[in-house]
Amino acid sequence: MMTRFKCLQTTLIIMRTLFCATVLSLILPITVKCQTGRVVYDAIINHSQKGTPKDEMFKDDLYAKAWLYFDGRVSLYRQLLPDSTINIRSGGGDVGYMRTKYPVNVNDTTGSIYRMDYVNKSIKSRMPIYNMKSFYVVDDKIETIQWSIKSEKKNIGKFKVIRAEADYLGRKWIAWFAPDIPVSMGPWKLYGLPGLILAAEDTSRKFKFSLRDLNIPFLNASKLLNAKVLDQKGMRKSEFILLEKKKKDDQYRFTKANMEAAAGTDGGPVTVKINFAETIEIYK
């Protein structure tokens, strides 16, 4: 009797194992397939001067092309430089701000790249300094984002999205994620929500991401997750911050020296104020 029971028990275990293997063989390819994707964003950088009314800031927006590729373990976000620039000056009185927007030839065609390895909790980036003319490879760690999910919902295209907020790397972000797309990733370094981030904006309205196109699955995603420009050894994030500060100090001294030379020896001390372009990360 005991032998028969053991045989029956063994048979049930074998059957259960075969059943599980069969189910996994059916589910796994679909799961893996759904974890690959490509998202096309508009990356919007606002160049409004301080004091510009918030309802006018959109007039100073510059647009850049951006892509996010992912395979469930790694994501790679790439953002090109804007192909236009804007000249803003105050008209004074009732004239307000006068804006001139014109196209520019972009020398750098690679742009910013952020490769996030969620297993090893690491980020390898090609990051620009404030003037968007020089880029450096930087090694960093993924920081946890403390999101607060709100009750507010809306539609982005055919997707229902939910609002979330977080303070992250010096800015307060509002993100809209799609729970129907169970991918915890997003543009730039934004991640960690129970759904793909389709849109995001910082509350100062200086940086914004909006969805243009979405492909899930995207079979070529894995081929695009390794950028050769990231193969070189990177500097630490702390080194990058010090480098950017030095670049700003150098520009300040250069500008001050030129202004003093133009004023002549009897011109007295020259006060210089430079409004450096804002960076998406605010460094302490």
> How far is the C-alpha of 194 from the C-alpha of 76, rounded, in Å?
19
* Residue 40: φ, ψ to 5°: -105, 125
pLDDT at position 267: 59
User: Which tokens sit at 206?
Assistant: 């200086």
> How far is the C-alpha of 200 from the C-alpha of 190, rounded, in Å?
9
pLDDT at position 4: 47
Residue with tokens 């590729």: 69
What is the mean pLDDT of each successive set of 10 residues along the chain, which is 284 residues long?
43 36 31 72 92 86 96 95 84 68 89 96 95 93 97 97 98 98 96 98 96 94 91 95 94 87 72 86 86
Any idea which fold 36-267 has?
Answer: outer membrane lipoprotein receptor (LolB), chain A (2.50.20)
For the chain, the residue count is 284
Q: What is the pTM of this model?
A: 0.83
pLDDT at position 256: 86
Residues 6+ apart with CB under 8 A from 210: 41, 42, 44, 198, 199
pLDDT at position 94: 56
Map out the domains of the chain as residue ranges: 1-34, 36-267
Q: What 3 state SS string does the chain have?
A: CHHHHHHHHHHHHHHHHHHHHHHHHHHHHHHHHHCCEEEEEEEEEECCCCCCCHHHHHHHEEEEEEEEEECCCEEEEEECCCCEEEEEEECCCCCCEEEEEEECCCCCCCCEEEEEECCCCEEEEEEECCCCCCEEEEEEECCCCCCEEEEEEEEECCEEEEEEEEEECCEEEEEEEECCCCCCCCCCCCCCCCCEEEEEEECCCCEEEEEEEEECCCCCHHHHCCCHHHCCCCEEHHHHHHHHHHHHHHHHHHHHHHHHHHHCHHHCCCCCCCCCCCCCCCCC
> How far is the C-alpha of 141 from the C-alpha of 125, rounded, in Å?
11
pLDDT at position 261: 82
